[in-house]
Amino acid sequence: MSEMKRSAHVILTSHSQHVFKDSLPIHWGAKNPLERGPIIGSLTDTKKRNAIGTHSGSYAVYRALSIAQGKYSTRHRPDLNNTESPVKIGPFASWHDPDKMVSIDPWGLDVPIHFKKFYDEGYDVRPTIAVTQAHLQIPEIHDAIDAGRLQVDGKIIKENRDIRVTKVAFEPVWYLPGIAKRLNVDEGELRKILFQETGGMFPELVTRPDIKVMLPPIGSTTVYIFGDVQNLSKPEVELTCRVHDECNGSDVFGSDICTCRPYLIYGIEDAARTAQRGGVGLIAYYRKEGRALGEVTKFLVYNARKRQKGGDSAATYFHRTECVAGVEDARFQELMPDILHFFGITKIHNLHSMSNMKYDAIVKSGIEVVNRISIPEDLIPADAQVEIEAKKAAGYFNPGEKKDADQLEKVKGRPIDE
């Protein structure tokens, strides 16, 4: 059991005497990994840490529970043999630009290779990016094949109708000065508010201004690539892309109150079709459930919308969200393009998104967008007409006709008891 536990003595990381010489400096935006330095968020040797927080995002809490039960050794160091990426990615010029990526660590990929020197010196460097390959089995893709919109080619779409993809998982790594700059706020103010709004979870935010990197306890991001990964960085190769924010109810379970799954599947179909004609497709899936307000808040909003006087209406769609949550949308898409810059993307030929927040963030980050593609009308569920008409009226990208105030009042959703 002694292998499972650390000392019972609690040491506050805010103590000034706990600045250790073995804690490596981080030079964000340096030209190579050794000059930049590894991110050490592991806990096997706290004297070597140079980041606030720890690995695995929100799953760090579950690791703590396993340790509390004596089922997980605090001295465990992962055996990373044979875990390297099956495809080569980067480095790109964006990896050397301190402003292009501030919410992920590009050198978090294949850390045993990039930081072998430090591994040999005993540093417990952990990956924050992992790449693998897989097949997707999606019923709607079978329908697209039957309808002739997609073809079985044996390469992108296999003979059994699986789609062959490359998957990339990202844990968040925040460079706090860059985050503050991106959001146009003072770094000190950002650190103070992060400390306050997490219930004082990370005292180093206010007591250790010398630590510039944070591993926040939030969800990760997954990217699915259709076709040759190397083509993502080639502006002459057609790229179809959807940047999608998580919606568990629709994406997984098919809830019809929103357009999330239909739009996601439409993006996947078009990404595969683009790859089949020699281009490349990319779906980025961000864990920002309920516009980053959470699923509990989202369900409360659903109830408020459907119980209000006059029923669920496109005219009050955004207002009811703000009444419950205090804000219409907490996603603030300024950090979203970092994932795209990891792949060296400079041009998107077909962007599947109606969101002006997403489009503006991508373009502002220096990526050219040629075409914007909205969800086809025939894919919109009946109960999601409230959402789609409200978004169109609010200025979301859509070539269709926008309804006036009187018309919006007439767009109604299903009653709560049906």
Enumerate the active-site residues. Answer: 329, 331
What is the distance between the alpha carbons of residues 125 and 48, in angstroms, rounded to a whole number?
Answer: 10
What is the distance between the alpha carbons of residues 51 and 57, in angstroms, rounded to a whole number?
Answer: 13
In 178-323, at which residue ranges do the beta strands (DSSP E only) sit?
A: 213-215, 221-226, 239-245, 280-286
Helix axes 260-276, 139-146, angle to 10 degrees: 50
- The backbone torsions φ and ψ at residue 335, rounded to the nearest 5 degrees and listed phi first, read -90, -15
The residues pairing with 213 across neighbouring beta strands, listed in sequence order, are 175
Contact partners, residue 206, CB within 8 Å, separation at least 6: 191, 192, 195
In 180-286, at which residue ranges do the beta strands (DSSP E only) sit?
A: 213-215, 221-226, 239-245, 280-286
Report residue 233 as tokens: 């960085």
The rounded radius of gyration (Å) of the Cα atoms in the chain is: 23
What is the distance between the alpha carbons of residues 158 and 154, in angstroms, rounded to a whole number?
Answer: 4
**Closest CA relative to residue 335, chosen from 107, 105, 101, 130:** 101
> What's the DSSP call for residue 315?
G
CB-based contact 404:394 (threshold 8 Å): no
Strands lying side by side in the sheet with 129-136: 129-136, 163-170, 221-226, 280-286, 239-245, 347-352, 368-373
CB-based contact 397:371 (threshold 8 Å): no
CB-based contact 383:360 (threshold 8 Å): no
Cα–Cα distances in angstroms (integers) from residue 107 to residues 30, 37, 167, 359, in the given order: 11, 9, 17, 26
What is the distance between the alpha carbons of residues 277 and 282, in angstroms, rounded to a whole number?
Answer: 14
Query: Where does 184-253 have alpha helices with state H?
Result: 187-197, 204-207, 248-251
Tell me the residue type at 215.
Answer: L
